[in-house]
C-alpha cells in the first residue's frame, strides 16, 4: 500500500531514492496525483518552518528540495495527463549587476515546493527582462533577490516597471542587505528574510 507519510518523511530527510520509489508506488496504485504532491509539499512546508526557526540550515534545505525534485520528476507527467497545473506562476531572478544566486535558488526551490510554477531568469536580470518574462508566462508574482548594497537600489526599477506594465502582479524582494523598510520605500509588495518566509509571503499575497 502507498505510504504517503513515508514519502513526506523521505522528502523532509532529503532521501531522494526513497522519495522517488515511494512516489512511483503511489502513482502505480493510482492515487490522486494532487494527494501525492500534497505529501511532498507538506514536507517542504516543515523544512521551510524549521529553516526559519534555525533548526535546519542551507544544506538540509537543498537536499530536501533535491528529494522533492526526484519525486516531482515522476509525478509531473501524471499531473499533466490529469490536467493538473499549478494555479500560480512566479518569475524569480537576481537583480541587474548582481551575480549571487544561492539565496534566489533557494527561494525558487521553496516556491516550487509550495506548489508554484517557477520561471527562473538567473542572475543579472534587468527590469525589462522581468517585465518580458511576466508577460510571456502570464506570471502572478515576481521574486527579486539582491546581495549587494550597490545592486539593491536596482530593485526599485523592477518594482516600478512590473507594476506599470502589468498591474496586479506582485513584486517581492529579499537578500542579505534588504530590509522591510527598504521594501516599503521602493513600493515592493513584500519582503521575506529567508526562503521559508518567502513561501508564506507568496501564499498570503496570492490568496489575498
Work out whether the CA dihedral 20, 194, 106, 200 comes out positive or negative.
positive
Tell whether residue 184 is a contact of ligand B1M (CB under 6 A).
no
| Residue 100 in contact with ligand B1M, rule: CB under 6 A | yes
> Given the rule CB under 6 A, which of 7-15, 112-120, 139-147, 155-163 is the region that contacts ligand B1M?
139-147
Strand intervals (E) in 102-208: 117-120, 141-145, 170-174, 190-191
> Per rule CB under 6 A, is residue 13 in the interface with ligand B1M?
no
* Binding of residue 177 to ligand B1M (CB under 6 A): yes
Q: What does the alpha-carbon distance between residue 189 and residue 99 come to, in Å, rounded to a whole number? A: 23
Sign of the torsion angle spanned by Cα atoms 119, 99, 179, 109: positive
Q: How far is the CB of 148 from ligand B1M (least distance, A)?
A: 4
72, 161, 175, 188: which one binds ligand B1M (CB under 6 A): 175
Closest separation in Å from C-beta 38 to ligand B1M: 23
Residue 79 near residue 31, CB atoms below 8 Å? no
Size, binding site for ligand B1M by CB under 6 A: 28
Amino acid at each position: 500500500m502507498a505510504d504517503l507519510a513515508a514519502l513526506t518523511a523521505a522528502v523532509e530527510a532529503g532521501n531522494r531514492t526513497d522519495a522517488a520509489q515511494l512516489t512511483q508506488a503511489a502513482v502505480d496504485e493510482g492515487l490522486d496525483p494532487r494527494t501525492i504532491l500534497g505529501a511532498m509539499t507538506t514536507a517542504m512546508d516543515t523544512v521551510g518552518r524549521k529553516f526559519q526557526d534555525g533548526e535546519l540550515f542551507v544544506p538540509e534545505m537543498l537536499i530536501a528540495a533535491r528529494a522533492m525534485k526526484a519525486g516531482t520528476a515522476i509525478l509531473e507527467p501524471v499531473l499533466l495527463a490529469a490536467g493538473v497545473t499549478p494555479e500560480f506562476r512566479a518569475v524569480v531572478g537576481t537583480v541587474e549587476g548582481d551575480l549571487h544566486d544561492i539565496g534566489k535558488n533557494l527561494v525558487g526551490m521553496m516556491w516550487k515546493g509550495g506548489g508554484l510554477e517557477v520561471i527562473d531568469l538567473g542572475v543579472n536580470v534587468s527590469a525589462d527582462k522581468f517585465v518580458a518574462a511576466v508577460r510571456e508566462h502570464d506570471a502572478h508574482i515576481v521574486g527579486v533577490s539582491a546581495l549587494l548594497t550597490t545592486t539593491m537600489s536596482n530593485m526599485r526599477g523592477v518594482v516600478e516597471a512590473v507594476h506599470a506594465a502589468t498591474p496586479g502582479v506582485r513584486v517581492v524582494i529579499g537578500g542579505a542587505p534588504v530590509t522591510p523598510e527598504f521594501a516599503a520605500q521602493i513600493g515592493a509588495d513584500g519582503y521575506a528574510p529567508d526562503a521559508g518566509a518567502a513561501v508564506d509571503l507568496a501564499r498570503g499575497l496570492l490568496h489575498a
